[in-house]
Amino acid sequence: MSLLMMILIPVRKLLRVSSIMRLDVRLRLWVGLASAYLIFMGFVHLLHIPLRSNTLHSHYDLSAEAVIAKHREAVKREAEKYAKAALRDSNAGLETSQQISLLTETFKKADSNADGLLELSELSSWISSKIKEHLNLALKENIFMFTAIDQNPRNGQVSWDEFHRYFLKQHGYDDKYIEDHKKDHKGMPRELKETIMRDKAAWSEAARNDPEQLSIDEFLAFRHPESSHATILNIVEETIARLDIDGDNKLTEDEFSDPEVNEVPDYMTVEQYRNERLKEFRIADEDENGKLERRELLRYIDPRNVHHAEKEAVNLLSGGDTNQDGVLTLIEVLAQREMFMSSKMVDAAKSFHDEF
């Protein structure tokens, strides 16, 4: 045997032993790691340690509702900044300044305890008083206007021709134009033409006996339908005729809240609409017998019913309460100027006329 072979044989034996040893070490290492993992998971299970933080999910909620809510909050914050800036800016536009002044004055009057916060009860009470004030004023105004228009002839009836003459006179047109003007009112501003068209449509709705003449009650329905008992009674009759499926002249909960018969607003689901109507039904059902009769519907629809003011107050509070603390500050009101300016809190007459 050569010297080279005598050297290689022991070396090969040593390498084989070394390889076996390395494999044994690797196996021991993997077994140790697996044991450690099992022990760790056992502790996690016993101690109820969360493996994933819920903070990430809640902080980065990307659901459609969360995105919309965050967008609304961002818009409200920007609106509040704008309102604060407008309060400080002496050079704000005339319309903006007038709105801020009116809303500030109204807020202070509605804030009965003068604590700088409008609670739901204060807002509801104020709106209720504004509704009654408007309705009473409408009744008084109706008598004076009817008497002023009923001139030619003075017969206790107002004709469309008499009213139209009065309308043109009130808008600055002279007697010559009133006598000689063409029916299409050529040259008249578009806004006035549209007003005449709306008045003509409202006149047709109010004229129950003679399409060309109105009695004093019909004239009230024409000018202020929300103040007219006859208008409210007509609404009751139409409501019963439309919803009374079994023909007993009364409405059940199902009939009153049926989304297939009623028109569901775009911003509500069918279920939301049904629940809202059921709430209204229970308010209107005074004797709690599960049936709405004409007298109950009449009182429910009457604008003087306090529930109308309460509902308006709830809507305004939910729409303006940025920080969700259940009350309104002046800044929150100013941040939603358009909503409050068109509400019964500020302008009951315009709000009613938009509804009717």
Which residue type does 232 have?
I
Strands (DSSP E) contained in 73-225 are: 158-159, 213-214
Q: How far apart are the first and last CA of the chain?
A: 121
* For residues 169-193, average pLDDT: 86
* For residues 110-119, average pLDDT: 95
How far is residue 249's CA from residue 291's CA, in Å, rounded to a whole number? 10
Q: Is the pLDDT of residue 166 over 80?
A: yes
CB 255 within 8 A of CB 293: no
CA 353 to chain CA centroid, nearest Å: 18
Q: Given its phi and psi angles, is residue 117 left (phi above 0), alpha (psi -120 to 50 degrees) or beta?
A: beta
* For residues 211-236, average pLDDT: 91
Could you tell me the pLDDT band of residue 164, with boundaries at 50, 70 and 90?
very high
Q: For the chain, list the domains and their CATH numbers.
A: 134-226 (1.10.238)
Which residue type does 156 have?
G
Instruction: Give the best-scoring range by mean pLDDT among 19-23, 78-82, 145-149.
Output: 145-149
Of the candidate ranges 78-82, 124-128, 266-270, 274-278, the one whose mean pLDDT is the lowest: 78-82
> Which residue has better confidence, 275 or 18?
275
Q: Which residues of 203-218 are buried (b: 16+ CB within 10 A; e: fewer)?
A: beebbeeeeebbbebb
| Global pTM exceeds 0.85 | no
* DSSP assignment of 3-24: HHHHHHHHHHHHHHHHHHHHHH
Q: Tell me what pLDDT residue 116 has.
A: 92
Residue 207 DSSP SS3: coil
How far is residue 349's CA from residue 344's CA, in Å, rounded to a whole number? 8
Q: Tell me what pLDDT residue 268 has.
A: 86
Sign of the CA dihedral running 105, 111, 112, 115: negative
- The single residue listed with the structure tokens 């044991």 is 35
* For residues 55-76, average pLDDT: 52
The tokens for 172 are: 């600055």
Could you tell me the pLDDT band of residue 223, with boundaries at 50, 70 and 90?
very high
Q: Tell me what pLDDT residue 136 has.
A: 92
Of the candidate ranges 74-88, 116-130, 149-163, 305-319, the one whose mean pLDDT is the lowest: 74-88
Q: Is the pLDDT of residue 128 over 60?
A: yes
Could you tell me the pLDDT band of residue 58, with boundaries at 50, 70 and 90?
very low
Q: Tell me what pLDDT residue 180 has.
A: 84
Task: Name the helix (H) or strand (E) containing 214.
Answer: strand 213-214
